[in-house]
Structure 1
Amino acid sequence: MRLCMPCTDRVGLLLDVSRVLAESGINIASVEMERGAVYLKCQTVYDEQKQELMHALQQVDGIYKVIEVSYMPSKERAEQLDAILASVQDGVLAVNELGILKQCNTAAASILGLDDNGLEQPLPSELADSLLITRTLQEGRSFRNREVFLDSIGGYCVVSTRPLRNDTGGVVGVVVMLRDSRDVREMIQKLTASLPVTFRDISCVSPAMEKVLEQARRYAGSSSTVLIRGETGTGKELFARALHSDSPRAKQTFIPVNCAAIPEALLESELFGYEEGAFTGAAKGGKPGLFELANGGTLFLDEIGEISVHLQAKLLRALQEKRVRRLGGSRELPVDVRIITATNRDLEDMVARQLFREDLYYRLNVIPLFLPPLRERAEDIPLLAEQFLKRFAAKLQSPVYRFSAEAREKLQAYSWPGNVRELENIIERAVNLVDGPEIKTEHLHIGKKSADNKPVKVQFETYQTLEERVAEVEREILRETMKRFRSSRRAGAALGLSHTAVIKKMKKHGLWPDSPGKGSEFPGEKL
């Protein structure tokens, strides 16, 4: 039986209540005072005796009311706390100053491999050290979002601690919040992931590309390494994303890495991570590598032919052993990652010249996928051009919606050394230039040279020496550049020269005002 008695605060109130219970022969199990009320937990009594007791207690001076309740305040708080801790996805545990485990929710027990018998028992010293509990008790300070290694999960988790203090400020316990790094990675992936690319997003009508798509769909269900080959701009990353989206790992992380874009000194730490203090400037707490972040998912290594021989050896070991070790670390972490690589380099030639490890080449080239250049699938050019036109017209709010017949012929006739990427850029530029509803040939700036750039023509048969021939070419280059920029400073910037060097060379060739013995073609040029 549990009773709540709102009351006044007076000396002797509890004594009078105890006398009433003693006269009734009822034993008191516990008493709590809270929020202007006395709470009693007593032995169970019959209903008739209960009513008599409640009436007698209400006659005590200072007692306003006697109500039967289901819980004592402490029990109610404990039930609420358990419900809260059970609903929290993060692991939460609490220990006292002796390291005795006082609270542990389901998430923490799962991460740490603890059972119900662990409560009211001291935590193992190794675990207390790993969770920064020992340091928090000793130093009396909090730690926030520190990554620590736990043997119980064979990996890392993110830990935060907070000391519990008594009225005098002394540390009497620690609350620990922890989360498995895999859960953190999953949350980051959900927040930062771009829209998935599927094979349906890869448009084509050419037989060559249809064949490649058929092969890629078959390869997607495998966990084997794929090596995508093709020229720059053929869509290697697009295929890598589609392979991931159509695989059993589709719900896991896809991480693309351009190996050529990251300096060699940083690429190793990016791929494999590092421990705190591994090198000067290493972040506090260390940093997980991309292999760890992609665990369970797919890691796409673009431009794989650009990595150094040293890094090739470490990558080979990671692929063979399916384990990685952070820089400065002593533990090897198991990883389950599907590797997709891509390159436009001739890896076979690099192997022959000992620029690429042969054993790594065979490890990567398990499933080769060759993407044809755009010039070998000309049937796809109109389809892709129309798609890019619609996309950029909507993006730029342009009224253009078609190509002229001559513009289509011009697109079909070009060899597209930059492949699909070059086509996309040229269509975007055309949409920016056009004013009406139709893209015409003058809007398509195809090729590296503009229409008004004429090649330098030199009649070599009239000269005797190489120096004279080079001088004539230099004179033509200076003349054409000054015609365009009308400023020695701007011409120098275009040619990679200082403006004084441009002036000196123009005087040499008689192109500068008041050049000895010759007039100038540019009387109004600016310094």
Structure 2
Amino acid sequence: MMLDIRGENRLGITSEILAVIARAGFDLRRLEVETGHVYAHVPGLRDADLPRLRMALEWIPGVQSVAAIDALPGDRRREALETLVASFPDPLLVVAPDGGIAAANAAAQAIIGPSATLPAAIAARLRADAGGGSLALTVDGRAYLAELVATKAETGAGKTGGGWLVIFRASQRIGRELALVGPGESGTLDRIVGESPLIAQVKDRIRRFADVEAPVLIGGETGVGKELVARAIHGAGSRRAAPFLALNCAALPENLVESELFGYAPGAFSGATRDGKLGLLELADGGVLFLDEIGEMSPYVQSKLLRFLEDGTFRRVGGKQERRVSVRILSATHRDLARLCGDGRFREDLLYRLSVLRVDVPALRERREDIPGLVDRFLGGAAAQIGRPKPRLTAQALERLTNHGWPGNVRQLQNVVFRTLTLADGPVIGLEHLDLSRDGRSGGDEGTGEGDLPPDWQTAQRRFEADLLRRLWPLYPSSRKLAARLGVSHTTIAQKLKAAGITP
């Protein structure tokens, strides 16, 4: 039986309690003392004996009560700790000062195996540096980031010692966390506003491509929402529960794009951390990696990406080990990749790999009927962000927004709505409140003239060809019939259909 003996916190009271228990003829297995409490495990004590022992204990000056309990506080804490460790989702090891494994939860036992030996890379790090840190490593073919935490304990004579906690964080788990805290819209089709025929075609392709395990190339001008389309493909597919990570290839120099994408081995180059780094391919394992502005990727990194697309393997920068992951690649560009291939700035074989499936997002001026819905969505979001009631737009203001050229597309429209709502007071936004200048300076409206026109001859030609093919395709639904109708070769039409994103 276990007892909770409550009393005053005075010197000698514990000794007197022990003496009474001994005189009563009972052995004591364990004793725990806290302020105001003495907990005792008396294994031979029966229910019939408790009243007599309680009376004897309560004769001790300062003892207030004696009650039977189910477990000692130390046992409860130990049980709670064991439950916590056992249910901890990441593999967790307790390493003794001599480097042996003192304890491991079920998740850790599953990766270190029955031998229960510390991975060699971790053992070497602990021998070299007792301060801990982190280490990128592979165990049983899976990538982990191991966090090493030094522990200390009093060993007597004023000396301290201790071991380490080793927490393994799987690359996929880190990737999911990065995806949750990263920027970007939610990956659902309802985030794509519009019911125009062109945007309906985009939504149809998203649904069709979502569960197809093949790369998708998303084309369109700057600001049309290519990343939103990529997120919608991810959100509608079988990998929706896995990470969606993104890399803007135009935002980083070549060497950083390579290390961000493939990771690097410890000490791979000057300035690299000694721990190495997991790349986005490993972090997105099982999920989707979105490569924005793929046309800005350097030829060297293009060749490494091509190899990954061919066999699913890669090496970290400075590493020797081949790594295999399951990652679906979605890419986007506002550039004419076929033209870049002709100029020798983009690999033609990589273009074929990336564009197995293709979605072309129309410019905003090509789907003006969707602008009122977008304006309403952006007004509501901006009003909630600013903390004011959603205003009403006059018919004249909405007509002006609808007829604007929008060279910056949906992104520019969103910025204009936010800027207008920030500067305008009152419940109604009229024509006089609109600031349609691209850089925020009042008085400008570059969208009513050249903003409606293509930036160059090649873009104008490409748009005309794509529009013509979309109109004729329902009437001549085969590449050979369409080639005969237009008086060109079947090969030419096949290439033009692919460039326009029309699948025969």
TM-score (normalised: structure 2): 0.69
Q: Does 1:266 align with 2:256?
A: yes
Q: Letter of the 1:207 partner, please give it.
A: P
1:143 aligned partner = 132
Aligned in 2, Cα 1:267/1:169: closer, same or farther, shift over 3 Å? farther
2:186 to 185, 191, 196: 196
Q: Does 1:306 align with 2:296?
A: yes
Superposition deviation, residue 441 in structure 1: 7.4
Deviations 1:338-386 (A, max 9, x none): 1110112221222233221122111101101122223333333444345
Q: Does 1:108 align with 2:108?
A: yes
Q: Does 1:440 align with 2:428?
A: no
Superposition deviation, residue 289 in structure 1: 1.5
Aligned in 2, Cα 1:404/1:279: closer, same or farther, shift over 3 Å? same
Quote the Cα distance in structure 2 between the aligned partners of 1:233 and 1:31: 74
Aligned in 2, Cα 1:339/1:113: closer, same or farther, shift over 3 Å? same
Superposition deviation, residue 88 in structure 1: 3.6
Q: Does 1:327 align with 2:317?
A: yes
Q: Does 1:177 align with 2:166?
A: yes
2:343 aligned partner = 353
Superposition deviation, residue 419 in structure 1: 2.9
- Kindly report the root-mean-square deviation, in angstroms, between the aligned alpha carbons of the 2 structures: 4.5
Deviations 1:394-417 (A, max 9, x none): 656585522318x726843x5443
Aligned in 2, Cα 1:192/1:252: closer, same or farther, shift over 3 Å? same
**Partners of 1:233 and 1:420 within 8 A in 2:** yes
1:401 to 389, 393, 401: 393
Quote the Cα distance in structure 2 between the aligned partners of 1:72 and 1:394: 53
Q: Letter of the 1:330 partner, please give it.
A: K
Superposition deviation, residue 205 in structure 1: 3.1
1:511 aligned partner = none
Q: Does 1:293 align with 2:311?
A: no
**Partners of 1:341 and 1:364 within 8 A in 2:** yes
Summarize the alignment of residues 151-300 of structure 1 with structure 2, pairs less than 5 Å apart.
151-152=139-140, 154-165=142-153, 166-168=155-157, 173-181=162-170, 182-192=172-182, 194-300=184-290
Quote the Cα distance in structure 2 between the aligned partners of 1:282 and 1:364: 30
Quote the Cα distance in structure 1 between the aligned partners of 2:224 and 2:77: 63
Quote the Cα distance in structure 1 between the aligned partners of 2:31 and 2:157: 23
Q: Letter of the 1:130 partner, please give it.
A: A
For structure 2, the 5+ residue unaligned runs are 7-11, 447-504
Q: Which has the higher contact order (CA 8 A, sep 6+)?
A: 2
Q: Does 1:375 align with 2:365?
A: yes
Superposition deviation, residue 433 in structure 1: 6.3
Quote the Cα distance in structure 1 between the aligned partners of 2:98 and 2:314: 37
For structure 1, the 5+ residue unaligned runs are 22-27, 454-527
**Partners of 1:137 and 1:174 within 8 A in 2:** no
**Aligned partner of residue 274 in structure 1, secondary structure:** coil
Quote the Cα distance in structure 1 between the aligned partners of 2:302 and 2:199: 31
Quote the Cα distance in structure 2 between the aligned partners of 1:136 and 1:31: 38
Aligned in 2, Cα 1:130/1:73: closer, same or farther, shift over 3 Å? farther
**Aligned partner of residue 163 in structure 2, secondary structure:** strand
Superposition deviation, residue 170 in structure 1: 5.8
Larger Rg: 1
TM-score (normalised: structure 1): 0.66
Deviations 1:236-293 (A, max 9, x none): 1121111112122222222222211212231111111223322222234222222222
Quote the Cα distance in structure 1 between the aligned partners of 2:164 and 2:401: 70
Aligned in 2, Cα 1:216/1:18: closer, same or farther, shift over 3 Å? same
Summarize the alignment of residues 452-471 of structure 1 with structure 2, pairs less than 5 Å apart.
none
Aligned in 2, Cα 1:77/1:328: closer, same or farther, shift over 3 Å? same
Deviations 1:132-152 (A, max 9, x none): 4x654676x3314x1331423
**Partners of 2:111 and 2:139 within 8 A in 1:** no
**Identity over the aligned pairs, expressed in percent?**
34
**Partners of 1:41 and 1:72 within 8 A in 2:** no
Summarize the alignment of residues 484-523 of structure 1 with structure 2, pairs less than 5 Å apart.
none
1:420 to 397, 410, 423: 410
